[in-house]
Every structure is written in structure tokens, then in C-alpha cells.
Structure 1
Amino acid sequence: MQAGTLSIVIPVHNEAGNIDSVMAEAVDVFSAAFEAFHIIAVEDGSTDATWEKLTALGARYPHVTAIQHPNRAGKSAALRTGFLAAKTLWVATMDGDGQDDPQSVVDMASKIDLASLDAPALVCGCRTNRTDGANRKWASKIGNAIRRFMLRDDCPDTACGLKVIPRDLFLALPFFDSLHRYLPPLTRYLGFDQIYVDVVNRARISGETKYTNVGRAFAGFFDLMGVNWLMRRTHIPSKALLFAPKDDA
């Protein structure tokens, strides 16, 4: 059992068919793996019964806190809400569609000390057995190649929902839609080390994906332009200043 406390933020949108099993498995796996943990599920403007199910799960499991966005704001906004609610040094992220294995979070967290801020500052999951269709796989490969060229980013699977990162580092990054897809290049640009861990990607059992190839490509082009600009226009004297002691006065 790993010492320290970990928060796990799970953004959720229209996952009424998956959320019960996702939470039950997560609580079971994390209870056996961590000395203490806290799951923060952020319901992002769902139009199905996801919120009702989450509130019931929050009442059933003391480790689960449910937060609701009244309107859909996107995955990055849901993650930011969860990170703001977290009280731990380190926070893990995973998706609420059942495709992420909670054991992967345990494997990734084992690479760091949850009780201290030390290198690496970002642990990225990399899906070795993606269950997406051939079209999405090819679109992802093309997108990754363009991103690596423009941002000098060597992460093989930046879009994987499984990440472990210090709370304060995530909140120090400039916020924008799709921030979650650019955590590896942004943290590397600021001088932080990162490691990659192979993770399991499972087939979706219920519900539908929230993205299309065309929509992802269209938004991705402008995101790349914006991230490239942010990196060129962001200068921090020392990465240590991001974790400067807070004034309690």
C-alpha cells in the first residue's frame, strides 16, 4: 500500500451507463493500493441521468465527491474544477467512460512519492492497445506527428486521459479549452521532467465518444497555433517559483 494521499479527478459527460461500474471498480482498486485517496467526479452538463447517479455514488462511498457544472464547459474545464477542489500535492486524472483501468493509475503513481514534490513532475499514460477504430488511430498518428514537429513534444500519446501531476503545477498553467491534451509539451517547456507508463485501454461498453475526427482536427489546428504562441510568450525565471511557499498570513 502506497503512503501519502492521492486525489483522482474524473470528468464525466453523459456516462449514465458507465459511471456506476467505473466508480465501484475505482474505489475497490484504490482502497487496496493507497493509504488514502479522494475521487472527485465532475459532471459536465450531462443531459442524461449521470448527475443523479453520481450524487447517489457520493452518498454511498465516503471517498467520492461529486461536483456539477450546470452547463457543458468541456473536459479541461471539468479537470480544472476538480483540481481546484483537490487538497493533495498530487492529482491523477482518468476518464469516466470505463476505458481507463484504475490499476493504471496505481502503476503510474508508484513512479513518484505522493508525499513530496520531486522529479518527475508529470507521469503520462500511453495506450499500447488502443481500442479505437482504424480511422481514429490514423488521425491520431497524423496529429501526433504534427504536434511533435511544432511543439518539440516527444510524448507518444498526449491525448491519453491518464495523467499524474502536481496540483499546483496544473493550476499554474494557462487555462484554455483542450489544455488536457497539451500537458506534456507545456510542462516540458517549463523545465519539468516527465515519464511515460504503458497503460491498458479498454473498449467502451456503453455510450458514445464525445469527439469526431473532423471536429478534433479542426480544433486541434487552432490549439496548436495557440499553444505554440503561449510557449513562445511564456518565460519563467525558475520552475521552483511555481511551487514557492504560500504566505499564510
Structure 2
Amino acid sequence: MTEAPRLSVVVPMRNEAGNVAPLVAEIEAACAGLAFELICVDDGSTDATPAALAAARAGRPWLRVLRHATGGGQSAAVRSGVLAARGETVATLDGDGQNDPAFIPVLLAALDEAGPGAGLAQGQRRGRKDGPFKMLQSRIANGVRGRILKDSTRDTGCGLKVFRRAVYLRLPYFDALHRFMPALVAREGFAVVHRDVIDRPRLTGVSNYGLFDRLWVGLLDLAGVWWLIRRKRSDPRPEEIAAPAGPPADQDVGC
């Protein structure tokens, strides 16, 4: 690929060998009308994920593969993909198949319609397929987060997001950043738009990342993000002073 794509799709994967082929095919179909690239970040997998990604690359020049030698976590994998992305706009979704790639164009259109003042289009899951205990934990965690951060987002844990790469790179990086993106994007002065998306059962395998939805796991992060928001000050907008058109009238410019 020689020209920068319109959209970079970033998918973090850890031990998702059985999900690689169907998910790549679904993303290919969903983004067929776009100039896009797909960046799969293998986050230290110990199964056949590397082989599955190698097979998926055949005949797909738009598919790029990054690999962490050891697992760094979901936020680290997303960040690696965003840093490598060549598109000005980035879409993310989880590597387990629960996020339907068909909603990528929906979120992209929502971001475009909102204009340059918007930095993030956040998916919000409907019909979630998680168990009742995790659902209860998630509901409590989202409620507490929403009351404290006032981010106007029902479901920040949804992996389906479309955002401007330049806005993401302005955010402070820490583990579980992806869970707080709506609040942090708003902190930078950009609007956040929301679209409902349909949740699905995982295609194969089991969850490979920790359950941040358990409220007590994220309390320190929540406190830290609250502090960042409280400490935010308006950014001065500097105006660059143009250089003089020529040397001063009394300057000797030589022969």
C-alpha cells in the first residue's frame, strides 16, 4: 500500500487463533467500500494466533500484523496499533468476535457527521451476551464512573470505537485507557457521539483479558482520571509570528 488509508482498523488479540479468520473476513466485508488498513496486534499469544494471522495475510496487502513478545494488556495493544496506524481516523474492536464489524461504517459516519469538533464515536452495547454476574458488575461500575466523571456514556467498555488518531495521541497513556476515552476526549475539548451496537457471543475460546468491569479493580484509575479532569486548564492558543520578509533596512547584506 502506497497511499495513506482513509481508516485504520486496530484489533488487539491474545490467544484468539480460532477467531482470526472469521473476524478478518467480517472486517473485510464491512470496510469494502473504504480505503482501509487492518492492524492486528498479537499481544504475546501462546497459541496458534501467529500462524492464523500469517495465513490470513495471504492476498490481503491491507492486513498488517504487529506482535508483542509478551502480553502487555489490551490498552498496550491498542496503543501499539494506533501508533503504527497510517490513517487519520482509527477504529477499534475486540478480537473475540463479540463486536460486530458491520457497525464500523456506522460509527465512522457518526464521527464524520459530527464534524471536526468531535473526537470520538463510541459504541454502546445492546443485548449484551455476558453472564449475569459480570453484567451486574458492569452496571455498577458504569454507574459509579458516570456519576463521578459525568462522561454521558452508558457503556465505555465497548471495544467498538472510531476516533481521530491525533486526538488519541493527546491523551495520557495508562493501563485501561480505553475504558476512560469518552471522559478524556471531552477533557481535550472534543465532543463524543454515541451509537448503539449489537453485542454478540464470543466466536470461540474464552476471555483473555482481566475483567475491569469489577468496580474495585478500577477505583485507582477512576480517581486518577477524575484528578486529571479537575486539574485541566484551558490551553492557550499561540499565534506564530511570521518572519520578516527581508533583512532590516540598515543591515549590510554584502556584495
Letter in 2 for 1:37: F
State the partner residue of 2:92: 93
The alpha carbon displacement at 1:226 in A equals 1.6
Instruction: Choose from 155, 177, 180 the match for 2:178.
Output: 180
State the partner residue of 2:17: 16
**TM-score, scaled to structure 1:** 0.88
Please say if residues 30 and 104 of structure 2, whose CA atoms lie closer than 8 Å, have aligned partners that are also in contact.
no
For residues 198 and 214 of structure 1, do their structure 2 counterparts lie closer, same or farther at Cα, with a shift above 3 Å needed? closer
Please say if residues 12 and 42 of structure 1, whose CA atoms lie closer than 8 Å, have aligned partners that are also in contact.
yes
The alpha carbon displacement at 1:100 in A equals 1.0
The alpha carbon displacement at 1:59 in A equals 3.3
Letter in 1 for 2:20: I
The alpha carbon displacement at 1:228 in A equals 1.4
The alpha carbon displacement at 1:26 in A equals 1.0
Note the 1:147-162 alignment, pairs <5 A. 147-162=145-160
Higher helix share: 1
Q: What SS does the aligned partner of 1:78 have?
A: helix
Q: What SS does the aligned partner of 2:94 have?
A: coil
CA RMSD of superposed structures (Å): 2.2
Distance across 1 between alignment mates of 2:211 and 2:156: 16
Distance across 1 between alignment mates of 2:212 and 2:62: 38
For residues 213 and 23 of structure 1, do their structure 2 counterparts lie closer, same or farther at Cα, with a shift above 3 Å needed? closer
Q: Which is greater in Rg?
A: 2
Letter in 1 for 2:156: T
Q: What SS does the aligned partner of 1:144 have?
A: helix
For residues 213 and 59 of structure 1, do their structure 2 counterparts lie closer, same or farther at Cα, with a shift above 3 Å needed? closer
Letter in 1 for 2:45: S
Letter in 2 for 1:26: I
Letter in 2 for 1:233: R
The alpha carbon displacement at 1:24 in A equals 1.2
Identical aligned pairs, as a percentage? Answer: 40
State the partner residue of 1:76: 75
Distance across 1 between alignment mates of 2:12 and 2:76: 9
Matched, 1:205 2:206: no
Letter in 2 for 1:27: E
- Tell me which stretches of 4 or more aligned residues in structure 1 moved more than 4 Å: 211-215
Instruction: Choose from 167, 188, 197 the match for 1:190.
Output: 188
Letter in 1 for 2:108: A
Question: Which range moves more in the overlay, 64-73 or 49-58?
Answer: 49-58
**TM-score, scaled to structure 2:** 0.86
For residues 79 and 213 of structure 1, do their structure 2 counterparts lie closer, same or farther at Cα, with a shift above 3 Å needed? closer
The alpha carbon displacement at 1:205 in A equals 2.6
State the partner residue of 1:54: 53
Can you give the 5+ residue segments of structure 1 that lack an aligned partner in the other structure? 245-249
Question: Which range moves more in the overlay, 50-59 or 64-73?
Answer: 50-59
Distance across 1 between alignment mates of 2:27 and 2:120: 21
